[in-house]
Amino acid sequence: MGIVVTVDGPAGAGKSTVAKKLAKELGWRYLDTGALYRAVALTALDRGLPTHDGEGLGALTATLAIRQDEEGRTFVGDDDVSSELRTERVSQAASQVSAHPSVRRALVDVQRRVADDGPLICEGRDMGTVIFPDAALKVFLDASPRTRAERRRDDLQARGEDVDLDELVSQIEERDHRDANRDTAPLLQQDDQIAIDTSEMSIERVLERLRELVVERCENGGTDNRLGNCLDSRIPSGP
Ligand code: DC
């Protein structure tokens, strides 16, 4: 495993935006693990597989060729499904699908393998707790449900969808509850994760804080050589 920075937290805390930007800035790889669960959910919905069928979903996940490219686009086989993953229907289904241990198990290696290709910033719910417990830097981003719902509303409005804010708040709370209370790999913050409440922070400020943390860890390479020389690291370029 190469250098790994994990960013966990609930939906709408700002994880994707900042993790993607920082990875780009540093020339590191970026992995959006929510998109993997979304891709499983989308395929299950397309094939009429119920989201409570843990066995069927586990078998489906094990056979799906899901991958993300350098731009963060998600593919199932050769199909770019990125834009189909962002609907509310897929969000709710992804949260249900991701509660099955069989599905999570089938995605463990898919996620860990990405860290073999160079320094990585990944985001999700269990990156620092389950997938990369030895990551060099672990961050937990949070924000109030209302702030997260407002961000989601702004995203949807930018895409021409009109939505009710209170409805979004209750969808977010429903999803939080499910993600935090499942038996396998629940969303939870641990002591070795650095918590940042982004409710009152701009994306730029969150990005700046994350950058500071990475640099701080790099400078402390002597005591924590998991991040030693990290700022000189780049994804190895191909032949
Ligand atoms: O981050 P997101 O909203 O795209 O994630 C969609 C769902 O996938 C989320 O409700 C919970 C699940 N998920 C998970 O269980 N573990 C992860 N590492 C990432 C996402």
Query: What confidence tier does 121 reach under pLDDT thresholds 50, 70, 90?
Result: very high
Q: Which overall architecture, per CATH, does domain 4-231 show?
A: 3-Layer(aba) Sandwich (3.40)
Q: How far is the CA of 100 from the centre of ligand 1 (A)?
A: 12
Q: How far is the CA of 233 from the centre of ligand 1 (A)?
A: 28
Q: Name the residue at shortest CA distance from atom 20 of ligand 1.
A: 34
- Integer CA distances (angstroms), 128 to 61, 117, 222, in order: 22, 18, 22
Please state, rounded to an integer, the average pLDDT across all residues of the chain: 89
Is residue 42 within 8 Å of 86, Cβ to Cβ? Answer: no
* CA angle in degrees (0–180, nearest 5) for 68-70-75: 25
pLDDT in tens, 161-201: 888 999 999 999 998 898 889 888 888 888 999 999 999 99
Q: How far is the CA of 80 from the centre of ligand 1 (A)?
A: 19
pLDDT over threshold 60, residue 218: yes
The C-alpha atoms of residue 154 and residue 115 are separated, in whole angstroms, by 32
Lining ligand 1 with CB less than 6 A are 11, 33-34, 37-38, 91, 94-95, 98, 124-126, 175, 179
Q: How far is the CA of 143 from the centre of ligand 1 (A)?
A: 16
Q: 79-82 long-range contacts, Cβ below 8 Å, gap at least 24?
A: 81/39, 81/42, 82/35
Domain spans, the chain: 4-231
